[in-house]
């Protein structure tokens, strides 16, 4: 075992400090009494209570949550299918194009995706608003789900599936009885990832929205352009809190499943022995 040298410790600590310090400062100043976000003037939660009276903000939050829930769910179904197609069917017509279309959105600049989806919606004459944002979010988040689920499928022992098929289960039954329970944690984290990406998106939403559908990031963005205020810090802190909670819950679920699986595996080995 090589020891963890002082240089390595320092780079990790400094790196994590760099990653977390801005977020910590933002959270701290959301509790600032003063309207200035750079001068501390005492503890206060007044910016949070003000949020509850900002109807425009609450409406935007509600739109964002509905878009997020709907698009994450659809994206999880589509992304999981795409992952299964990529991993289980190594040869089909147009596979190169398909895998290209799954990976390209991961790095595609958002302005291009946003513009191209908007022009599609205009070309097919769809009224822009809630539904167009949702369709756009499904499209770019499903690729992230596909990558997450794909990596789990790759490390999955296919012989269990083959055994089920040999024993006469249909492929659909095999998928729901064997494959899905095993990849469920990955599917779940794919859903959480899709939801947070949707919650977070500014550029694609701005391009594909129409009158009446303003999402929270669009609202935050228009306020940020006017300057930094503790009220925005308060919204951001709430969002960070929700995401942190989601990640913690997701990791507990995954951990618990792993413990279960290990226990089952040990029991199986014991039964054989």
Q: 107-126: which residues touch another protein (CB under 8 A)?
A: 107-112, 115-117, 119-120, 122-123
Which of 177, 180, 244, 252 lies at the binding interface for another protein (CB under 8 A)?
244
Give the whole-angstrom CA distance, residue 239 versus residue 228: 17
- Interactions with another protein, residue window 17-56 (CB under 8 A): 18-20, 22-23, 25-26, 29, 37-38
Longest CA–CA span in the chain (Å) reads 71
Tokens of 259: 């413990």
For 154, the 3-state DSSP assignment is helix
Contacts of 236 (CB under 8 A, 6+ apart): 26, 30, 220
Nearest distance in Å: CB 94, another protein:
7
Q: Does 259 bind another protein (CB under 8 A)?
A: no
- Interactions with another protein, residue window 140-179 (CB under 8 A): 142, 146, 150-151, 154-155, 170-172
Give Cα 249 distance to the centre of its chain.
Answer: 14
- Interactions with another protein, residue window 207-236 (CB under 8 A): 207, 217, 220-221, 224-225, 228, 232, 236
Nearer to another protein, 53 or 225 (CB): 225
Instruction: Spell out a b/e string for 88-125, using b for 16 or more CB atoms within 10 Å of the CB, else e.
Output: eeeeeeeeeeeeeebeebeeeebeebbeebbeebeeee
Q: Does 12 bind another protein (CB under 8 A)?
A: yes
Nearest distance in Å: CB 116, another protein:
4
Nearest distance in Å: CB 192, another protein:
8
Give the whole-angstrom CA distance, residue 37 versus residue 33: 9
Q: Let me know: does 149 contact 186? Beta carbons within 8 Å.
A: yes
- Interactions with another protein, residue window 58-97 (CB under 8 A): 78-79, 81-82, 84-86, 88-89, 92, 94, 97
Nearest distance in Å: CB 9, another protein:
7
């Amino acid at each position: 075992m090589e020891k963890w040298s002082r240089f390595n410790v320092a780079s990790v600590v400094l790196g994590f400090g760099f990653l977390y310090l801005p977020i910590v400062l933002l959270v701290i100043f959301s509790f600032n009494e003063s309207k200035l976000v750079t001068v501390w003037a005492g503890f206060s939660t007044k910016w949070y209570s003000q949020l509850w009276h900002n109807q425009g903000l609450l409406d935007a939050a509600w739109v964002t949550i509905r878009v997020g829930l709907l698009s994450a769910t659809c994206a999880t179904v589509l992304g999981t299918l795409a992952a299964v197609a990529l991993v289980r069917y190594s040869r089909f017509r147009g596979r190169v194009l398909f895998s290209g279309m799954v990976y390209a959105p991961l790095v595609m600049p958002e302005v291009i995706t946003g513009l191209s989806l908007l022009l599609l919606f205009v070309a097919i004459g769809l009224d822009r608003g809630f539904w167009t944002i949702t369709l756009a979010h499904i499209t770019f988040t499903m690729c992230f789900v596909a990558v997450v689920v794909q990596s789990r499928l790759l490390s999955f022992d296919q012989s269990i599936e083959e055994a089920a098929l040999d024993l006469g289960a249909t492929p659909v039954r095999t998928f729901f009885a064997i494959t899905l329970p095993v990849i469920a944690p990955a599917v779940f984290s794919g859903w959480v990832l899709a939801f947070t990406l949707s919650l977070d998106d500014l550029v694609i939403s701005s391009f594909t929205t129409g009158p009446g559908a303003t999402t929270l990031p669009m609202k935050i963005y228009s306020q940020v352009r006017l300057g930094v205020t503790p009220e925005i810090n308060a919204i951001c802190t709430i969002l960070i809190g929700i995401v942190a909670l989601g990640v913690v819950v997701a990791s507990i679920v995954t951990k618990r499943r792993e413990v279960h699986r290990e226990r089952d595996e040990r029991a199986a080995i014991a039964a054989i022995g």
